[in-house]
A and B are shown apart, each in its own frame.
Chain A
């Protein structure tokens, strides 16, 4: 009996040590923060992830007791999880459609609000060994590539717009998103506007039945695939191409000019929408009019429920939203996102106050 008692004691001591170690690390983290931590969970788009992670980090530095944990799992997951209630807020670059809004309202009895946070661009990024120039892409070329009809880089659909560039006769490796993605929504929304065949055959959405291509998970996954696969093309948010030094091309806009995505061209795309944005902020600005507008631009939205049962969370989120629309905007341009037009910021500020 003594032997067992002895061994049991050692075992219990060992377990207690383990628990002690684990919880003391925990406790250490918590005591560093003077008050009790408020943890808010959000999930969604990978499109704005670079700026969101910067924002949440800066906001945490400002208010150390507020931790906003954002997981970049794709707009589709963001919409789903906020509807399920497993996260406190969502994020998406494809606005929720009427069915999804209704489903949310039916479930909870109140609605969910869309708050535009930044403007971004989806760029066609490619990795062609030997080609360093910025390529020009016509809408027909892009639709053709993604429909699987344009299969080689030196196809006339592409080369016609790129005189002087030596395009190889290699097969195009098409990369798209494997997860439910707002970036996909923006891309397919654009393709649906410029190609009837795409519109009827594939349609627009966060998850479509892609005719061709490899699937990468998140903007990160697509960038990774393009970066490591020669002769590939993918669509990613601008900052992912820029941060990872992969080339991206210019796209022909509705006025016929080839425009490369940058702060000015993205802001130009939003300027026409700024004055007429609907009250719920759901608007598409792809293929926007204007000579300097970049045609594949988009807002990205935070999906915030109209009501919160937890007052502390509600106040924290409202505080964050106000900060994001004001101080937060000073961080966006460094990461190649465009600031929101002033009219939209003003409108949003009014709506923030309606969150209960």
Chain B
């Protein structure tokens, strides 16, 4: 479903007037100026944000340099800080989240785009949109009281019995840890994958599907072998979007991850993410180096999500253009 965007020719200044005061007398110029100020302020705020992050992390950048990213130690007593366990935790939980959410999300999107009649598809999408609106702390609440006990009592021991030969599922079952955090994150990002993938799939031109069916493919085959590959880039965009969301998630993660900077092959191990450590330690870091190391972590997170969001948008736009380029409704 593509939107027809009508581009409005932007009105230039009233013809004939030259001096700025003369021009200002016309309401148009004032309106333009006022709205420009607001728009420019948005740019200013974002520049200020980057500037504050950069300025606020000057100490660790100078003291540790690139070593910051390869050190495991996080020691406020001896003033030694390294980002690796947090980067690891952030990436691992996001990976687990995607492994769980992507198949489920794309499956649901296929159902909504290909199979469900319009009304049902719209209704279900409505519910999915509501799911996306649930705040992080509520997921955290359910995580602590529902997911963690289930993980500790059933899921983790179960995985250990069946797949315990893999280093992924070894170690004591705390309930909290990478696996639980990844699971909760998966639930949080599914709506994004579904919404965007559904839109992308709907924008695939009908003739593609019809051609496949005409050639004798079953509906599944037409979806799997023709429609999905066509929409592949857009779906990847949705995955990147979901990934960006997962990386920045704070509250739900800090309530279920165990808050221990560890790098471990086991998913049962407690860990830490960048967002979680900032939330826990920022208001109490006393030494300047400690605070600024946390700010540097914030900067790293910012850059990661920034790049991912950019890529996501690019991919989604590319797919939309491909779709409308060959569209014949």
Q: Which A residues lie at the B interface, using CB under 8 A? A: 73-74, 76-81, 83, 100, 171, 173, 178-180, 202-210, 213-217, 225, 228-229
- Chain A residues, CB < 8 A from B174: 173, 214, 229
- Chain B residues, CB < 8 A from A77: 283-284
- Interface-central residue, A173, A180, A204, A215, by most chain B CB under 10 Å: A215
Give chain A nearest CB distance to B79 CB in angstroms: 11
> Any chain A CB within 8 A of the CB of B135?
no
7 A-B pairs with least C-beta separation: A215-B259, A77-B284, A76-B284, A178-B259, A180-B284, A209-B75, A207-B76
> Any chain A CB within 8 A of the CB of B130?
no
Q: How large is the interface on B (under 10, 10 to 19, 20 to 34, 35 or more residues)?
A: 20 to 34
Q: In the complex, which residues 148-179 of chain B have their Cβ closer than 8 Å to any Cβ of chain A?
A: 148-149, 152, 172, 174-176
Assuming A203-B77, A209-B74, A229-B174, is B283 touching A215 (CB within 8 A)?
A: no
If over half of B's interface residues share one DSSP class (helix, strand or loop), that class is named, otherwise mixed; here it is loop
- Chain A residues, CB < 8 A from B260: 178, 210, 213-215
- Chain A residues, CB < 8 A from B78: 203, 209
- Would you list 7 pairs from A and B whose C-beta atoms are within 8 A, ordered by A residue? A76-B284, A76-B285, A76-B286, A213-B260, A215-B272, A216-B259, A229-B174
Give chain B nearest CB distance to A178 CB in angstroms: 4
Contact with A along B183-223 (1 / 0, CB 8 A): 00000000000000000000000000000000000000000
Give chain A nearest CB distance to B149 CB in angstroms: 7
> Any chain A CB within 8 A of the CB of B281?
yes
- Cα A76 to Cα B291 with chains together (Å): 12
A180-B286 in contact (CB<8A): yes
A80-B148 in contact (CB<8A): no
- Chain B residues, CB < 8 A from A213: 260
B285 and chain A: residue at smallest CB distance: A80
- Cα A7 to Cα B285 with chains together (Å): 50
- Cα A216 to Cα B144 with chains together (Å): 12
Give chain A nearest CB distance to B148 CB in angstroms: 7
Contact with A along B53-88 (1 / 0, CB 8 A): 000000000000000000001111110000000000
A74 and chain B: residue at smallest CB distance: B284
A203 and chain B: residue at smallest CB distance: B77
Q: Which B residues lie at the A interface, using CB under 8 A? A: 73-78, 148-149, 152, 172, 174-176, 254, 258-260, 270, 272, 280-281, 283-286
A178 and chain B: residue at smallest CB distance: B259
Give chain A nearest CB distance to B260 CB in angstroms: 5
- Chain A residues, CB < 8 A from B258: 214-215
Give chain B nearest CB distance to A150 CB in angstroms: 14
- Chain B residues, CB < 8 A from A173: 172, 174
- Cα A80 to Cα B285 with chains together (Å): 7
- Chain B residues, CB < 8 A from A171: 172
- Interface-central residue, B175, B258, B281, B286, by most chain A CB under 10 Å: B286
- Cα A215 to Cα B257 with chains together (Å): 9
- Cα A229 to Cα B258 with chains together (Å): 12
- Chain A residues, CB < 8 A from B148: 228
Give chain B nearest CB distance to A60 CB in angstroms: 25
A188 and chain B: residue at smallest CB distance: B77
B74-A217 in contact (CB<8A): no
- Chain A residues, CB < 8 A from B76: 180, 205-209
B259-A73 in contact (CB<8A): no
A sample of 7 more A-B contacts (CB under 8 A), given A173-B172, A209-B73, is: A73-B284, A80-B286, A178-B280, A179-B280, A180-B281, A214-B260, A215-B258
B286-A83 in contact (CB<8A): yes
B172-A180 in contact (CB<8A): no
- Cα A77 to Cα B294 with chains together (Å): 14
Assuming A76-B286, A80-B286, A207-B76, is B149 touching A228 (CB within 8 A)?
A: yes
Cross-interface CB contact of A214 among B73, B176, B283, B286, cutoff 8 Å? B176
- Interface-central residue, B148, B254, B280, B285, by most chain A CB under 10 Å: B280
- Cα A228 to Cα B77 with chains together (Å): 30
A44 and chain B: residue at smallest CB distance: B284
- Cα A7 to Cα B148 with chains together (Å): 50
- Cα A250 to Cα B188 with chains together (Å): 44
- Chain B residues, CB < 8 A from A204: 77
- Chain A residues, CB < 8 A from B284: 73-74, 76-81, 179-180, 206-207
